[in-house]
Structure 1
Amino acid sequence: MSTDLRSPWLREESVLPPLYLNATPTAPAKSQPGRRIVVIALLAGLLGGVIGSVGSDLLDGNPGMSNTVTLPTFVTEDQVINQDSVAAIAQTVLPAVVSLEVTGDVSASGSGFVIDSSGYILTNNHVIAPAANGGEVKVYFQDGTNYDGKVVGRNSGFDLAVIKINAQNLPTLPLGDSDKVVVGEQVIAIGAPLGLTGTVTSGIISAFNRPVTAGGSGDTAFINAIQTDAAINPGNSGGPLVDSNGFAIGVNSAIATLGVASSGSIGLGFAIPINAARRIAQEIIQTGTSSTPILGVMVDMSYDGPGALLTDVTPGGPADLAGIVAGDLVLSINGRTINGSTELVVAIRANAPGEIIELRIQKPNGQQRTVNATLSKQVN
């Protein structure tokens, strides 16, 4: 039997993983014998099962539509509100955070937050996935008002989705700059863990650029995650991770546990950086679709040496045009060391389609060279 277990995640194919997926930390951590750390999606109501495949990455969206909504690029100094406590930040942010109740093949709940006053809400793909086959999304605000939500579009590769409600002049949560987060920075997580709406917890940024696989409902997301010790639990999915100025810097998506499905927070939470989420949301709002950067290669999932071993290269794709061939090892991307297929995918998805990345390649004969490749895109 062939040991060439190839990953399709850098091409257009889809995969159907289990709901609970192993984290791939940047450095191995010691653990007690018999214990295993896994990363799970923070989705209340789906723990312990897999929904099944989803036939489309676009639900109720029209690829031909074009809206003029423009999300803020970055906050400015004039927008900074002088916040000196978690209570003050929460009071400012909570009106823009919503709880989501989703019914479909199964029932589930999660969180989200308003990113545009005309009714656009950002959340996780795995939160709204149960509504993929004619299900319903109910949106609840902190003041008790509720609306029916419509899925505009989603990107399973980034575990992001945008829904729309029929409302105007809504409070919005300003988006920060996740590229500027630093380890030790204070943050708060807001959402509806276990259905407890309006829950606020605080902590710090523990690390960033954590390669994490997460998601649910038959879709795997590869996240270049922000790690936090703020307590987050099932139901927090899609809620914001907010900095000390009250700006969203991430979308809460997964937590690490010791392998028990009912386990709660152990101080290892992961959020999708808001800069990636902003790009995906903007594309979905404008076109109903979004794009995922691809290199045009496949990797050997069984390889456990340094780098990521390529087993195939798409003719005419970015890697092919850069002179990369099957059998090459990718040792680093933009100076970031690569060890394994997950780190390769995450490092690629830390960029946008059309951007040029620098790859350090090792040939089968041991020779190394540096090449540049312009990422292409897969439309979701």
Structure 2
Amino acid sequence: VTNNHVIEGAERLEVTLNDNRTYDATVIGTDPTTDLALIKIEADSLHVIPMGSSDNLLVGEWVLAVGNPFGFTSTVTAGIVSAKARSISDSRQGRMTIESYIQTDAAVNPGNSGGALVNLKGELIGINTAIYSQTGNYAGYSFAIPTSIVVKVMTDLKKYGTVQRAVLGITFRELTPEIIKEKGFKNINDGIVVEEVSEGGAAMTAGVKPNDVIVAINGTAIHNKAQFMEQLSRLSPGDKASLTIVRDGSTRNFDVTLLNNQGSTRIVKAPTVEALGAKFAKVADDKLRALRLRSGVQVSEVTGDGRFKHAGIREGFIISDINNGRVSSPEDVEKIYDAIMNSDDTYDKVMFISGVYPTGKKMYYAVDLAD
């Protein structure tokens, strides 16, 4: 288990063990939404770390962070749990994220990412993933993804190749004193206030309405966005959940059957670039110069009844940009495709492609990737 940002964009992965054995690694699956990745090596006599419960972790409890900061192999630092269910940003590099971090004051620096956060029993209770600093180095605050999220994500990546993420079908805000005053709420201090309910979504089907305040999921109290996202991230499409909601001053329970972001409970398959229905090849430098292109990837073949054929793209087309990002190799096309398909935003599953045919004719295409 490691962080997605550790392996993202890598052409080759190598894992070095404590006894200095090295192995090439393959990627089983990644989840940019939680910044987690699962990789595999072919090796014998590996020690498996026992999995602990981040739910049982207490603020003030001692923990150890393990990693390789600044290249110092297998460095261990100690600290206490400073807070739980901490969110440090609304997004990471423009992506939708799920953040419910364990905050510690164990010294974590560049090179610690993907390392273990353990309790004093030596049990894994988090994956070190971020620091809060104005200099880029440790300044007293470090953050780890709790095992409550890690276990679900890793299980799904191993079994399905992609995370089976449950969607409630609402937009929401954390309850604040300003919102309480604005809405006229009484006898309630925190929770998640529902802003909108998606048509035909799980919440609407269960009877959830705008201005409802969610205060618990399956009996676990919800005080903020991070706690809400953590509880939801444990569940899969098809799971049933009990929502405790305050409406018009009274508390009610709603049973909801969760869906995926496609509005169903079926298993979501890992995206494969073959769905585009095309093969790609590098473009010779002299051809790029002749067409006045800085970079590009040529569609060497349009196959079957795929997305490219439906969009009208023909064989020989040279792609220069996808979604305003320059492409220079077939691998670039695959990485952009994977990033789009791994996104939880159903409305942004599209490739906006610009390029030129060998005749010099410029063309622009929109390739719809949504089901």
Normalising by structure 1, we get a TM-score of 0.57
Q: Secondary structure at the match of 2:166?
A: strand
**Residue 302 (structure 1) shift:** 12
More helix by share: 2
Q: What CA deviation, in whole Å up to 9, does each residue of 1:186-240 have, x standing for no partner? A: 2211011233221110122233233444874543432222222211122211111
**Residue 300 (structure 1) shift:** 5.8
Which residue is equivalent to 2:170?
297
Which residue is equivalent to 1:227?
103
Residues 55-94 of structure 1 mapped to structure 2, 5 A cutoff: none
The answer as to 2:30 corresponding to 1:139 is no
The answer as to 2:221 corresponding to 1:336 is yes
Larger relative contact order (Cα-Cα within 8 Å, sequence gap ≥ 6): 1
The answer as to 2:154 corresponding to 1:270 is no
Paired with 2:92 and 2:113, the residues of 1 have a C-alpha distance of 11
Q: What CA deviation, in whole Å up to 9, does each residue of 1:137-192 have, x standing for no partner? A: 22222233322222110122222110112323322222122222223332211011
What is the aligned counterpart of 1:191 among 67, 84, 88? 67
Letter in 2 for 1:225: Y
Residues 82-121 of structure 1 mapped to structure 2, 5 A cutoff: none
**Residue 251 (structure 1) shift:** 0.9
> Would the aligned equivalents of 2:149 and 2:230 in 1 still touch at CA under 8 Å?
no
Q: Secondary structure at the match of 1:144?
A: coil
Which residue is equivalent to 2:254?
371
What is the aligned counterpart of 2:245 among 361, 374, 379? 361
Which residue is equivalent to 2:25?
149
Paired with 1:182 and 1:366, the residues of 2 have a C-alpha distance of 32
> Would the aligned equivalents of 2:86 and 2:226 in 1 still touch at CA under 8 Å?
no
**Measured at CA, do residues 171 and 367 of structure 1 come closer, stay the same or move farther in structure 2, by a change above 3 Å?**
closer
Which residue is equivalent to 1:282?
155
> Would the aligned equivalents of 2:116 and 2:127 in 1 still touch at CA under 8 Å?
yes
Normalising by structure 2, we get a TM-score of 0.59
Paired with 2:172 and 2:254, the residues of 1 have a C-alpha distance of 18
Paired with 1:274 and 1:172, the residues of 2 have a C-alpha distance of 15
> Would the aligned equivalents of 1:213 and 1:222 in 2 still touch at CA under 8 Å?
no
Paired with 2:12 and 2:222, the residues of 1 have a C-alpha distance of 43
> Would the aligned equivalents of 2:67 and 2:116 in 1 still touch at CA under 8 Å?
yes
Which residue is equivalent to 1:321?
205
**Residue 253 (structure 1) shift:** 1.6
Residues 21-40 of structure 1 mapped to structure 2, 5 A cutoff: none
> Would the aligned equivalents of 2:172 and 2:196 in 1 still touch at CA under 8 Å?
yes
Letter in 1 for 2:166: P
Letter in 2 for 1:299: F
**Measured at CA, do residues 342 and 305 of structure 1 come closer, stay the same or move farther in structure 2, by a change above 3 Å?**
farther
Q: What CA deviation, in whole Å up to 9, does each residue of 1:245-299 have, x standing for no partner? A: 2221111122233xx1424231x22221213212221221222222222211123
Q: Secondary structure at the match of 1:320?
A: helix
Paired with 2:94 and 2:6, the residues of 1 have a C-alpha distance of 12
> Would the aligned equivalents of 1:138 and 1:148 in 2 still touch at CA under 8 Å?
yes
**Residue 362 (structure 1) shift:** 4.7
Paired with 1:335 and 1:165, the residues of 2 have a C-alpha distance of 38
Paired with 1:249 and 1:308, the residues of 2 have a C-alpha distance of 26
Q: What CA deviation, in whole Å up to 9, does each residue of 1:117-136 have, x standing for no partner? A: xxxxx0112222223xxx22
The answer as to 2:8 corresponding to 1:129 is yes
Which residue is equivalent to 2:114?
238
Larger radius of gyration: 2
Paired with 2:222 and 2:91, the residues of 1 have a C-alpha distance of 24
Letter in 1 for 2:5: H
**Measured at CA, do residues 169 and 214 of structure 1 come closer, stay the same or move farther in structure 2, by a change above 3 Å?**
farther
Q: Which runs of 5+ in 1 are unaligned?
A: 1-121
Q: Secondary structure at the match of 1:250?
A: strand
Q: Which runs of 5+ in 2 are unaligned?
A: 181-190, 262-267, 269-341, 343-371
> Would the aligned equivalents of 2:197 and 2:203 in 1 still touch at CA under 8 Å?
yes
Q: Secondary structure at the match of 2:179?
A: coil
Which residue is equivalent to 1:251?
127
**Measured at CA, do residues 186 and 368 of structure 1 come closer, stay the same or move farther in structure 2, by a change above 3 Å?**
closer
> Would the aligned equivalents of 1:126 and 1:215 in 2 still touch at CA under 8 Å?
no
